[in-house]
């Protein structure tokens, strides 16, 4: 018996994009391998190259150089074939406003070569699944942001794609709709759906993704499970201090004098301090703050997040 090793469902090799007129690479020699069954996260700030990466993988953006395959299909050589294997939920509402909710699904099926009867039943089934049956014949205009997002997810999986690409799917959603969408993605993944999720919400990447690639300036700076990424910082405590006085001096002194402090930065009316393995930390922080001429108004501690990882890697915040 011959075993054929199956390649990862997404593979990129030295994939690059330079937009016309730009003097930098929006995506810079990207090597990526996403396995079937993963929720894989691209986490990065504005302009990191997340949408451009997803755009090249979904045939919307033409690469400048390098290669990319989705479900074994070279997306540059065979874009039409590749499209059969991918589902896309983009950053903006791309539902057809001329059509009802149901028609948006039905015609998607027809466009993908699915017959009329199976397209009808699949549209019904997906509306039911996403609790949208009541809205089947409504205009797209009648939908809230969260409902529109659910219709787009329903449409994206209509043709049972090998990979679902979701670009900042919860941007602009209220917290409740965001949680509902997270649940939908987790359910889909539990059924085996591979998902590539791009986001600049660290909580989203942390909660949903098995592995996360941290991106900036078109490059992957780190790639691992959220746990390993957080552990890799060596930081175990984040101290957030709200204080009066000269915060520049405070920040500098805390970094120099608190044992285990690895990083300090100014935040709104205070300082955030990253610390690795310090004892008697809070007492020490308060003592040093007072010695620096600051009065502490509020003090809290937290565990490191993917934001901590990003700050450690780049010296800047994920959100600007
Ligand atoms: N169509 C375009 N033409 C020229 N430059 C572009 C185009 N699209 C993106 N860029 C540039 O390429 C870089 C990467 O942008 P991209 O949209 O891929 O980032 P992103 O990570 O998706 O950011 P965001 O979080 O803002 O969506 C940025 O510097 C952006 O200005
Ligand atoms: Mg984007």
Can you give the pLDDT at residue 115?
Answer: 97
Percent of all residues in the chain with a pLDDT value above 70, rounded to a whole number = 98
* Whether pLDDT at 164 is above 70: yes
Task: For residues 212 and 226, give the distance between their C-alpha atoms in angstroms, rounded to a whole number.
Answer: 6
Can you give the pLDDT at residue 5?
Answer: 67
Mapping DSSP to helix (H, G, I), strand (E, B) and coil, where does residue 45 land? coil
Of 90-94, 221-225, 231-235, 295-299, which gets the smallest average pLDDT?
Answer: 90-94
- Ligand 1 within 6 A of 51 CB? yes
* Whether pLDDT at 320 is above 60: no
The ligand 1 atom nearest the CA atom of 53: 18
Domains and CATH numbers, the chain: 10-95+143-230 (3.40.50.300), 234-303 (3.30.70.100)
HEC profile of 125-190: HHHHHCCCHHHCCCEHHHCCHHHHHHHHHHHHHCCCCCEEEEECCCCCCCHHHHHHHHHHHHHHHH
- Ligand 1 within 6 A of 22 CB? yes
Distance 96 CA to ligand 1 centre (A): 24
Can you give the pLDDT at residue 2?
Answer: 62
Q: Kindly report, residue by residue over 238-257, the tens digit of the pLDDT.
A: 999 999 999 999 999 999 99
Distance 47 CA to ligand 2 centre (A): 7
Burial of 195 (0-12, 13-18, 19+ CB in 10 A): buried
* Whether pLDDT at 302 is above 80: yes
Can you give the pLDDT at residue 312?
Answer: 87
Can you give the pLDDT at residue 173?
Answer: 86
Average pLDDT of the chain to the nearest whole number:
94
Can you give the pLDDT at residue 315?
Answer: 83
Q: Kindly report, residue by residue over 169-210, the tens digit of the pLDDT.
A: 888 888 998 999 999 999 999 999 999 999 989 999 999 999
Token output for 222: 């780190």
Closest Cα to atom 9 of ligand 1: 52
Task: For residues 87 and 72, give the distance between their C-alpha atoms in angstroms, rounded to a whole number.
Answer: 15
* Whether pLDDT at 143 is above 60: yes
- Ligand 1 within 6 A of 254 CB? no
Task: For residues 196 and 40, give the distance between their C-alpha atoms in angstroms, rounded to a whole number.
Answer: 5
- Ligand 1 within 6 A of 17 CB? no
* Whether pLDDT at 319 is above 80: no
């Amino acid at each position: 018996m011959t075993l054929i090793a199956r390649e990862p469902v997404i593979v990129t090799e030295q994939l690059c994009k330079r937009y016309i007129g730009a003097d930098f690479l929006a995506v810079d020699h990207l090597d990526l391998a996403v396995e079937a069954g993963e929720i894989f996260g691209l986490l990065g700030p504005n302009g990191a190259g997340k949408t451009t990466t997803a755009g090249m993988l979904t045939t919307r953006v033409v690469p400048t150089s390098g290669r990319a395959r989705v479900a074994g299909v070279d997306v540059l050589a065979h874009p039409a074939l590749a499209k059969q294997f991918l589902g896309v939920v983009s950053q903006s509402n791309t539902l057809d406003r001329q059509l009802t909710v149901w028609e948006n699904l039905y015609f998607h099926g027809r466009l993908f070569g699915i017959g009329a009867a199976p397209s009808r039943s699949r549209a019904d089934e997906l509306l039911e699944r996403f609790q949208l049956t009541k809205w089947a014949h409504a205009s797209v205009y009648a939908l809230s942001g969260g409902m529109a997002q659910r219709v787009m997810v329903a449409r994206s999986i209509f043709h049972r794609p090998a990979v679902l690409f979701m670009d900042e799917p919860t941007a602009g959603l209220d917290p409740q709709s965001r949680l509902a969408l997270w649940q939908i993605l987790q359910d889909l993944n539990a059924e085996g759906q591979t998902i590539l999720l791009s986001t600049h919400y660290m909580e989203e990447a942390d909660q949903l993704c098995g592995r996360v690639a941290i991106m900036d300036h078109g490059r992957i700076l780190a790639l691992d499970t959220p746990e390993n990424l957080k552990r890799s910082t060596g930081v175990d405590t984040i101290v957030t201090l709200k204080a009066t006085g000269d915060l520049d001096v405070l920040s500098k002194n805390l970094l120099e004098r608190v044992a285990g402090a690895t990083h300090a930065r100014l935040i709104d009316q205070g300082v955030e301090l990253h610390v690795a393995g310090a004892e008697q930390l809070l007492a020490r922080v308060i003592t040093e703050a007072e010695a620096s001429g600051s009065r502490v108004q509020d003090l809290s501690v937290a565990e490191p997040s993917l934001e901590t990882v990003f700050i450690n890697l780049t010296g800047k915040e994920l959100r600007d």
